[in-house]
Chain A
Amino acid sequence: MPTLTVDGKEVTVEPGATVLQACEEAGAEIPRFCYHERLSIAGNCRMCLVEMEKAPKPVASCAMPAGDGMVIHTNTETVKKAREGVMEFLLINHPLDCPICDQGGECDLQDQAMAYGRGSSRFDENKRAVEEKYMGPLVKTVMTRCIHCMRCVRFSSEIAGVDDMGAVGRGEDTEITTYLEKAIASELSGNVIDLCPVGALTSKPYAFTARSWELRKTETVDVHDAVGSNIRVDTRGREVMRVLPRLNEDVNEEWLSDKGRFSYDGLKRQRLDRPYVRTNGKLAPATWDEAFAAIAGKLAGLDGSKIGAIAGDLACTESMKAAKDLMTALGSTNMDCRQDGAALDPSCRASYLFNTTIAGIEEADACLLIGTNPRHEAALINARLRKRWLAGGFPIASVGPDADLTYKVDHLGDGTETLSQLASGHHPFIETLKNAERPMLIVGQGALARTDGAAVLAAARKIAEDTGMIADGWNGFNVLHTAAARVGGLDIGFVPGEGGKGTNAILEGAAGGGIDVVWLLGADEIDTGRLGDAFVIYLGSHGDAGAHRADVILPGAAYTEKNATWVNTEGRVQMGYRAAFPPGDAREDWTIVRALSAAVGHTLPYDSLPQLRAAMAQDAAHLADADVIATGNWGTFGLSGDMAAEPFVSPVSDYYMTNPICRASATMAQCSAEIGDHSEKATGTDG
């Protein structure tokens, strides 16, 4: 552990730390452009110069390993002069266009020029001008502003795992580009915007729409996948202007997937902003009272067993709890939060969680993927897997879709045949798992949302138990969800009660009799063609598949418009906060359920969110503890049985089009058209 002196203060740092890190430890702020703690060290901006005693000239602190006995000065005249020199060179070719630059107000170069800029330029030559580069529908470029820190290049090759970006040319002619100016083919491409310390890479959808200081910032949680990325929603008035990631080392580090970052324009399109009632076969605008009356009229005298409810992927835990209570009051046990019909077992919490935790992936030393394409289903979990893989000693094998996951995966087979071999211990990869100290497996919804899902789950459990994945202080059994609503729904028990029907049975009942009323709680990914003649109530935010089929539409709030509890795939309870109000007559979902309950004569016993949350905590005590993972106990789950021969298919066929919000987003549509199915194995010569 080297001990060094920084500005007269002694600090001890971890071996391998850099002088820059030691300076930060000592409380000295070091300006930097190219250095980023999550990327490899480049040392090319030279802004972090410090003075080191016994060194003949200032040293770049980001690239200098901290050594025992070093004496560092960060606030001397020499240091200031050296940094001013660096800044002057950086500004030589940097345009003075801050007033028309989207980075203005949140620009590292602008900020640091305040401290180290000369105020005027001594450069009399022509400034360099660089042509804009096309990098896809998400990243806007003004390459004249680029200072060649290479953060974007390092990010795309190291974190995102797509070698799409590079620096061509040399010296003054260096230009950052993508090969042949193709769109960056990564689900994480938006992060280069955050990384860019200047205004060279900015957000295309956000371009020229707002200034950072006029936005109200609300810290909340992303719901486009089950990762539960921590985000900040920036709003102006009631409009969401942009979405940015917020640091959470345990979940998304400081990254955000493109879907979470750029689908916000979908919050403004296709919105349900007033209730509708179908009259004479056509949906007609209605008042809340008329909508409730239509529902009350239909439910009057109807036996509870003829009502079914299905919750979708974006339903918040509060609305599911309220809906569950209303269904119970109506005498129905027909409800399911697994709209894909996945064979998840709600009775054993460990059976449906990502037990290893996302950060825990970094401690694992072998991994088996079953029926999942994590790159599309949970891009940031995939980035964690890649991070662990890069560290070495992490064999990964996959049974299921053979996709490019940005790291080396041993593709063992397509489906159940290989899984059976693994479960019976006859596959060589079992030895790899057994020999690993902390093996893990990830079961995707593609393996569970099938008729033989329970058998697949049982096989996965057997593999986990046989290979020592379940041990003291380690649980390597992981279920990867694709829906932000799923774990919360399972936690509060939005599942068929005694004698109740699940998703499939409800749909069968609707088509073939037995179910007269189907209540869709934002469920759009079901086959609405199977709803038959049933009376469909749709409560949700967007006019998607469910609303098209509905007989009564109750307009709800999107995730940015309500205070809600979300539980991510790890079982981590996180609070979302309202950043803007829902449009028009739309209301927060739970209040709609509460109002409906009064209209149908079964008033629910809560009038406020705290009361509702107290009721939720009675169903599942851990829901009261935000930002904590309540671990589940291991148990027996799954049903041993025959497995069908069909190969596992990832439930996400198009990463950019997975829920009503992104289907309403023009940006996502453009991404889907342009980047689309890029993770199919590319040979390098195509295109």
Chain B
Amino acid sequence: MSSTTDHQPASFAFTPEYMDKAKAHVAKYPDGRQASAVMPLLDLAQRQNGGWLPRKAIEYVADMLDMPSIRALEVATFYTMYNLEPVGENLVEVCTTTPCWLRGSDDIVKACEKTLGISLGGTTPDGKFTLVEAECLGACVNAPMMQIGDDYYEDLDADSTERVLNALKRGETPKPGPQGSRRLTEPAGGPTTLLDQKGAS
């Protein structure tokens, strides 16, 4: 963990809107087990704080759940989805684990680096994009893929990657899911079984 604190805010508190959500999570657990809500609360804190989790937010959540700060820090450092350093508006996570890699994730990474002008681990000067490598995100059937924010973009190639990123640059929201011709996780060449079923195309 980096010990730099220059970008760490001096304080953190949930806005009323996020506080309501947080309380809803805490209410799911029995009395005295409020600490179980630590993961959703850290996630809420990250969302409120522009995609990353400052120290003060970890302490705030720990305090709110009446647990020691170190216990919340353990959780926050264990899971890669918690960003402990500031990230760009769009966090681009390209999967490079074996199935995606076999299906050409190297090209996707290159396309990202070219389009965004940054290398893996970097953030664009305008703060719009951060590009990172991710381990398997569980969408191997649509490999290669990347996750941007909460959305998966699948069945990528260099062109479609560029298209998605450029759309985001323009402030549009590209359609998530497979970027190729198939629907969801259908076989690449169209359905091969259950063709007589009603509704089969």
| A and B interact physically | yes
Minimum CB distance partner of B84 in chain A = A168
Of the candidates A169, A177, A180, A684, which one forms a contact with B68 in the assembled complex, judged by CB atoms under 8 Å apart? Answer: A684
A178 touches B78 (CB 8 A): no
* Contact of B68 with A168 in the complex, beta carbons under 8 Å: no
Chain B proximity of A285: nearest CB distance (Å): 53
Known: A169-B77, A169-B78, A170-B78. A684 touches B69 (CB 8 A): yes
Q: Are A684 and B71 in contact (CB under 8 A)?
A: no
Contact indicator per residue, chain A 144-172, by CB within 8 Å of chain B (1) or not (0): 00000000000001000001111111100
Q: Does A121 contact B (CB under 8 A)?
A: no
The CA-CA distance from A34 to B63 in the complex, in Å, is 30
Number of B residues near A (Cβ < 8 Å) is 17
Residues of B within 8 A of A163 (CB): 67-68, 70-71
Among A165, A170, A683, point to the contact of B70 (Cβ < 8 A).
Answer: A165
> Smallest CB–CB gap between A157 and chain B, Å?
8
Question: Distance (Å) between the CB of B58 and the closest chain A CB?
Answer: 10
Tell yes or no: A685 within 8 A of B by CB: yes
Q: Is residue A179 within 8 Å, beta carbon to beta carbon, of the partner chain? A: yes
The 0/1 profile, CB within 8 Å of A marked 1, for residues 60-72 of chain B is 1011001111110
Q: Which of B94-118 contact A (CB under 8 A)?
A: none
| In the complex, B195 has a CB within 8 A of chain A | no
Task: State which residues 451-490 of A face B: CB under 8 Å.
Answer: none
For the complex, give the distance between the alpha carbons of A165 and B59 in Å.
15
Give Cα A166 to B67, complex, Å: 13
Interface size on A, residues (CB 8 A): 16
* Contact B63–A685 (Cβ < 8 Å): yes
B27 on the A face (CB < 8 A): no
Contact across chains for A684 and B63 when beta carbons are under 8 A apart: yes
CB pair A167 B71 closer than 8 Å: no
How near does chain A come to B33, taking the closest CB pair, in angstroms? 16
Contact A164 B70 (CB under 8 A): yes
B10 within 8 Å of A (CB atoms): no
Contacts of B78 in A (CB 8 A): 168-170
> B77 contacts which of A157, A164, A168 (Cβ < 8 Å)?
A168
Q: Verify if B167 is at the interface (C-beta below 8 Å from A).
A: no
CB of A684 to closest CB in B, whole Å: 5
| Contact of A178 with B70 in the complex, beta carbons under 8 Å | yes
How distant is the Cα of A507 from the Cα of B160 in the complex, in angstroms?
Answer: 92
Do A168 and B71 touch across chains, with their CB atoms under 8 A apart? no
B67 proximity list for chain A (CB < 8 A)? 163
The residues of A that contact B77 with a CB separation of less than 8 Å are: 168-170
Kindly state the separation between the CA atoms of A385 and B59 in the bound complex, as whole angstroms: 29
Q: Which of B1, B63, B71, B79 contacts A166 (CB 8 A)?
A: B71
User: By the criterion CB–CB under 8 Å, are A166 and B59 in contact?
Assistant: no
A178 to B55 CA separation, bound complex (whole angstroms): 14
Besides the contacts A684-B62, A685-B59, what 15 more A-B pairs have beta carbons closer than 8 Å? A163-B70, A163-B71, A166-B70, A166-B71, A167-B74, A168-B1, A168-B77, A169-B1, A170-B77, A170-B78, A178-B70, A179-B73, A683-B63, A684-B59, A684-B63
Query: Can you list 11 A-B contacts (CB < 8 A)?
Result: A163-B68, A164-B68, A164-B70, A166-B68, A166-B73, A168-B74, A168-B77, A170-B79, A180-B55, A684-B63, A685-B59
